[in-house]
């Protein structure tokens, strides 16, 4: 009799153990599945949010080229390593690694490079910033900033302006080129101003 009772207790113990083990396996299987689904759901929501932010926020491009005609019917080409704009101001293009060329009617070319800049694709005005370098015929001009105002027909060069050319070197605070009158106004560090007639 004691032997049967022992077998019965052992059988019940085994059944209870198997039941508990099965319950634990099922619990952890479904618990982990729900956890994985939650993580996956969070990832999907995160990706959707990134896409929406990209649509409403920045649009970015690499190795881009802009071409146009200025107010004097001269062609210009702007190449940039990187460009970005927002949906709110799609006409304002922020660029890095800029190489621009202006092709004048007399066959000459003005080349301007800079680390970064801003291009307005409506007015065709261009701001060049950081390590600005300009090359025209045998002349070189270096500065930290230059503004090409297509709408007003002038090129303003400023901040540590240094020029090199066949006619000598130039150091100035600011240089303003009037593209219609063919005049250059130079502002020296001592605030004296000189108008120079230039041929280009």
**Listed residues 15, 30, 56: the one ending a domain:** 56
Q: What is the pLDDT of residues 55-76, one digit of tens each?
A: 557 788 899 999 988 888 889 9
Whether 99 and 186 map to the same domain: the answer is yes
Contact 154, 184 (CB under 8 A): no
Whether 49 and 63 map to the same domain: the answer is no
| pTM: predicted TM-score of the whole model, two decimal places | 0.65
- Pairwise pLDDT comparison (183 vs 35), residue with the higher score: 183
Whether 70 and 139 map to the same domain: the answer is yes
Range of the domain at 4: 1-56
Whether 162 and 96 map to the same domain: the answer is yes
**Listed residues 29, 56, 83: the one ending a domain:** 56
Whether 108 and 50 map to the same domain: the answer is no
Q: How far apart are CA 184 and CA 134, in angstroms?
A: 15
Whether 138 and 41 map to the same domain: the answer is no
């Amino acid at each position: 009799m004691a032997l049967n009772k022992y077998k019965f207790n052992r059988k019940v113990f085994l059944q209870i153990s198997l039941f508990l083990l099965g319950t634990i396996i099922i619990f952890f299987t479904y618990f982990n599945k729900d956890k994985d689904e939650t993580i996956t759901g969070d990832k999907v929501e995160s990706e959707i949010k990134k896409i929406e932010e990209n649509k409403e926020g920045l649009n970015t491009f690499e190795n881009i080229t802009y071409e146009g005609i200025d107010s004097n019917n001269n062609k210009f080409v702007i190449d940039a390593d990187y460009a970005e704009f927002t949906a709110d101001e799609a006409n304002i293009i922020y660029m890095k690694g800029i190489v621009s060329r202006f092709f004048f009617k007399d066959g000459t070319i003005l080349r301007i490079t800079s680390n970064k800049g801003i291009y307005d694709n409506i007015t065709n005005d261009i701001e060049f910033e950081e390590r600005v370098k300009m090359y025209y015929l045998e002349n070189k001009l270096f500065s930290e900033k230059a503004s090409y105002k297509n709408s007003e027909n002038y090129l303003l060069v400023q901040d540590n302006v240094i020029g090199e050319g066949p006619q000598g070197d130039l150091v100035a605070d600011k240089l303003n080129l009037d593209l219609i009158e063919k005049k250059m106004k130079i502002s020296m560090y001592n605030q004296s101003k000189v108008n120079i007639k230039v041929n280009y």
